[in-house]
Amino acid sequence: MAFESSKSIARVARDPLLVFLAIGLLLFLLDLFLDSDDSKTIELSKAEIEGIAAQWLDQMGRKPLPDELAGLIDERAQEAMLIREAQRLGLAADDVIIHRRLIQKLRFLVEDAAVVEPASKADLQAYFHANLSRYEQAASVSFSHVFFSADSDRATPNWTRILDELNAGGQSERIGESFMLGRHFKNATRRRVAEDFGDQFAASIHGIDADQFWQGPLKSRYGLHLVRIDEVTPKRQADFDAILNRIRGDFDLERRDEAFRTYLTQLREEYTFVLP
């Protein structure tokens, strides 16, 4: 009987399929044992505990008391346990929100690596000259106005008489009606004027020379205005040193975007997409 048993074991040992299955089962059991052991161990390093205490200090303005620190550590351990169990149960699978967050973190990691080395002043100057139009300061106008609302029941003002009075030195504050945005505007770009008065008024006022004379009326979305152009500042190139921080921010943003595009290109070369 013992001889027959040994012959059966020998036949099993020579069967490649059975040997493969036996090895696979052994590895599975070993992995299960090791995973079971590791998954139930939550270890916080000294650096992590110091980080917890530092975060409390930043938020509360003082170091945590011993019992407070113990409570914070317990909260962190609880979070780690719940995350571990969620992963074990496969709760992250097919979760769009978690996937998006992982993609976001990976992108931040790639982009942050691209700007570890600060940009040199030479690089920033080259970028500035390559993008001069982006840093132009828009033309602006300083003006005063007298407002007349568009009221159909109100008699049409005698524009010639009012203009003559204003240009003779009449006080504009005593003429016309009050205006919610004020009567005087300083260094207003065409965009700002359009936002406040409308496109038609902005186009009209930015076509008038600064001759210190009252003119009009000009139509806005609110009514009619007599205007005096006090100063016109043409568009001009910004000073490099004055906007250096803005240039550095734009340059780094492009470096980050380029780094992620390059990373995606490299990944696509490594992966194979199979479609139905």
Residue 53 lies in a domain: no
Quote the percentage of the chain above a pLDDT of 90.
Answer: 25
Taking only the tens place, the pLDDT of each residue in 113-145 is 888 888 899 999 999 988 888 888 888 899 999
Most trustworthy range by pLDDT among 120-134, 164-178, 208-222:
120-134
Same domain, residue pair 152 and 127? no
Quote the percentage of the chain above a pLDDT of 70.
Answer: 84
Residue 15 lies in a domain: yes
Check whether 86 has a pLDDT greater than 90: no
Going from the C-alpha of 57 to that of each of 10, 45, 46, 91, 212, the distances in angstroms are 69, 19, 17, 34, 60
Residue 217 lies in a domain: yes
In this predicted structure, which of 9-18, 178-187, 204-213 has the lowest mean pLDDT? 9-18
**Residue 169's pLDDT is what?**
80
Residue 242 lies in a domain: yes
Check whether 163 has a pLDDT greater than 60: yes
Same domain, residue pair 105 and 225? no
Same domain, residue pair 181 and 191? yes
Same domain, residue pair 206 and 242? no
Same domain, residue pair 230 and 155? yes
Taking only the tens place, the pLDDT of each residue in 9-33 is 444 444 444 444 444 444 444 444 4
Same domain, residue pair 249 and 117? yes
Which residue segment(s) compose the domain that 21 sits in?
A: 2-39
CA distance 146 to 176: 6
Same domain, residue pair 209 and 144? yes
**Residue 262's pLDDT is what?**
92
Same domain, residue pair 145 and 225? yes
Q: What is the CATH number for 164?
A: 3.10.50.40
Q: Parallel, antiparallel, or unpaired for β 214-219 and 236-237?
A: unpaired
Q: What does the mean pLDDT of the chain come to?
A: 81
CA distance 227 to 192: 16
What does DSSP assign to residue 233? Answer: E
Would you say the pTM of this structure is higher than 0.95? no
Half-sphere exposure of 248 (CA within 13 A, CB side): 12
In this predicted structure, which of 9-23, 93-107, 189-203 has the lowest mean pLDDT? 9-23
Residue 62 lies in a domain: no
Whether 201 contacts 223, CB under 8 Å: no
Number of structural domains found in the chain: 3
Same domain, residue pair 104 and 188? no
Same domain, residue pair 273 and 199? no
Same domain, residue pair 124 and 169? no
Residue 8 lies in a domain: yes
Same domain, residue pair 155 and 226? yes
Residue 230 lies in a domain: yes
Residue 75 lies in a domain: no
